[in-house]
Chain A
Amino acid sequence: MKTVLAASAILAFLTVPILAAAVGMSPARMELNFQPGFEQDYTFQVFNNDGKTLDIRLYASGDLAEYITLSQSNVTLAIGETKTFSFHVKLPQSLEPGKRDTRIGAVEMVPPGAAVAAVSGVEMQFWVYVPYPEKYIAVDIATINVPKPNRTMNFTVTLTNPVNASIDTTADFEIQDANNTTLDRFELGGAFLKKNEFKTFPVSWIVPAYGDYKAVARANYAGQTTRKEVRFGAAEPQTQQPQPQPAVQQPAQPDMWQSPYTYIIALLIIAIIAVALWPEKKRRSTYAE
């Protein structure tokens, strides 16, 4: 019996409780056809389906985030609790054609401590479909690598025709600095695109120094222009602060071997096991002596 109690004590030291955090939202998606100036309130639910109270941050992000106002931004949910929230949408008179993807999100607040810890969250999709005009070319910019000074940064510019009409288009590309001054300009050439066809243009540019930049791509067709811009930055690494400690990383959990009680309990277990395993005859003869 003593053996069992001692073993339980050791297990209690070894077992670090890990609480699963879980957050959910309903519905998963809302869809809407664009109407100029459209305005309405929508409701959604956030729930905590796990074993601890959660502090949750609510947010709007994506294409139309600036047209959305949430009823509140922080909430605490008890175990198993579900709460209903609302957001107000006020759309502008016009939007870029296509599917405008906006997200309403609920994410756990970051708990203090822990070495490498993860928090989870979910997003509800709020999709607004904006009709295309008779002729339209969609422009997209992808950055291929991380910007670093004196290194080549690679981009791809993709032109896509989402409408029925075939369109003859040209494309150009610019790099601007934080003051919108053009640093470099590239003529990318032309393309004749039928419905759902696309063409991709690669672009390379050498980043001159640390700083904030903007890549701007344009498609010019049928007297119209579609524009897309992407901001990027070559961030300066942070300077280090010298510290006296020798260890580079420290364990986040307390080290059980630093506790004197661990050794005492271990010795007790060894003693109990030794007594239990000692041959009975030999034990009797030892006691007889």
Chain B
Amino acid sequence: MKAQSKNSMPAYALAGVTAIVVAVIAIAGLNALGMVSGTATVTVQSSVAISMPVNSINFGTLYEGGTNNTLGTVPVPFKVQNDGNVKLNVTINATNIFTSAPNPVSNYQYMANVSVPGEGTCFDITQSTTTLTNMPASNNPTKFLTYLNDTNGCDDAEIEVQVTVPVGESAGAKTSTVTLIGSQA
């Protein structure tokens, strides 16, 4: 069946940011120069965009039971920035870093944090995950950052990561890919 969309003018325009430019309107639509004037509407399409000014963390060499995290100054935490024109909610998930301890597990944790040095608090702390929490599995994206601002000058947040090597973990290089997905809040 081929039905006509109720929104032949796509309804998504409603989600856009609308700026109205109003011309000077004289009596009966004529201004002092006798020219017709009116109202022009400019619709700015909404867009979601995020970038990661810091997108890798190197924890160096650790031994069984050893812990390292980004809560100090080194290594530097991930940083995420809202480059779109709507507020964002952001989800997180990651592939396992340890063979013996699949996600979610206390050996691999994350939390949202205010960017330091940076732009101040640019997201809703009360509805975001701001204490160390077990990293979700790769098939379970979990919202952790709420209402990340789109205002230039205050549109970023840090993602702290902590790893603790499980006792009995095999030796070798350990890797994990963290995926952050932003969508309109």
Interface residues of A (CB under 8 A from B): 18-33, 35-40, 42, 47, 49-50, 103, 105, 107, 110, 113-125, 146, 235, 237-238, 240-253
Within 8 A of A (CB), among B76-112: 78, 80-81, 83-84, 86, 97, 99-102, 104
Q: Are B64 and A248 in contact (CB under 8 A)?
A: yes
Q: In the complex, what residues of B have CB within 8 A of residue A245's CB?
A: 171-172
- State the 4 A-B residue pairs at the shortest beta-carbon distance, nearest first: A24-B49, A22-B51, A37-B1, A26-B47
Q: Are B173 and A240 in contact (CB under 8 A)?
A: no
Given the known interface contacts A20-B52, A22-B49, the answer about A248 and B5 at a Cβ–Cβ threshold of 8 Å is no
CA A181 to CA B118, docked complex, whole Å: 55
Q: Are A118 and B3 in contact (CB under 8 A)?
A: no
Contact of A27 among B3, B47, B97 (CB under 8 A): B47
CA A30 to CA B181, docked complex, whole Å: 18
Which of under 10, 10 to 19, 20 to 34, or 35 or more describes the interface residues of B? 35 or more
Can you name 15 A-B pairs with beta carbons within 8 Å? A20-B51, A21-B51, A24-B83, A26-B45, A27-B45, A32-B5, A115-B59, A116-B58, A118-B52, A118-B159, A119-B180, A120-B182, A122-B182, A242-B170, A252-B58
Q: Are B57 and A116 in contact (CB under 8 A)?
A: yes
Q: In the complex, what residues of B have CB within 8 A of residue A242's CB?
A: 170
CA A118 to CA B54, docked complex, whole Å: 9
Expressed in whole angstroms, the minimum distance between the Cβ of B183 and any Cβ of chain A is 4
Q: Are A115 and B173 in contact (CB under 8 A)?
A: yes
Contact of A251 among B3, B16, B58, B102 (CB under 8 A): B58
Q: In the complex, what residues of B have CB within 8 A of residue A49's CB?
A: 49, 51, 83
Q: In the complex, what residues of A have CB within 8 A of residue B174's CB?
A: 115, 248-249
Q: Are A47 and B49 in contact (CB under 8 A)?
A: yes
Give the residue name and chain of the B residue nearest to A30 (CB). B12
CA A251 to CA B59, docked complex, whole Å: 7
Q: Are A117 and B56 in contact (CB under 8 A)?
A: yes
Q: In the complex, what residues of A have CB within 8 A of residue B13's CB?
A: 27
Q: State the majority secondary structure of interface residues on B.
A: loop
CA A24 to CA B57, docked complex, whole Å: 23
Interface residues of B (CB under 8 A from A): 1-3, 5-7, 10-16, 45-64, 66, 78, 80-81, 83-84, 86, 97, 99-102, 104, 159, 161, 163, 165, 168-184
Q: Are B171 and A28 in contact (CB under 8 A)?
A: no
Q: In the complex, what residues of A have CB within 8 A of residue B169's CB?
A: 240, 248
Q: In the complex, what residues of B have CB within 8 A of residue A37's CB?
A: 1, 3
Given the known interface contacts A245-B172, A248-B165, A252-B173, the answer about A120 and B180 at a Cβ–Cβ threshold of 8 Å is yes
Expressed in whole angstroms, the minimum distance between the Cβ of B55 and any Cβ of chain A is 5
Q: Are B61 and A250 in contact (CB under 8 A)?
A: yes
Q: In the complex, what residues of B have CB within 8 A of residue A28's CB?
A: 15, 46-48, 84, 86, 183-184
Q: Are B61 and A116 in contact (CB under 8 A)?
A: no
CA A200 to CA B28, docked complex, whole Å: 61
Q: In the complex, what residues of B have CB within 8 A of residue A246's CB?
A: 171
Q: Are B55 and A18 in contact (CB under 8 A)?
A: yes
Expressed in whole angstroms, the minimum distance between the Cβ of B98 and any Cβ of chain A is 9
Contact of A124 among B10, B48, B176 (CB under 8 A): B48
Q: In the complex, what residues of B have CB within 8 A of residue A252's CB?
A: 56, 58, 173, 175
CA A23 to CA B170, docked complex, whole Å: 36
Q: Are A240 and B47 in contact (CB under 8 A)?
A: no
CA A117 to CA B59, docked complex, whole Å: 11
Q: Are A32 and B6 in contact (CB under 8 A)?
A: yes
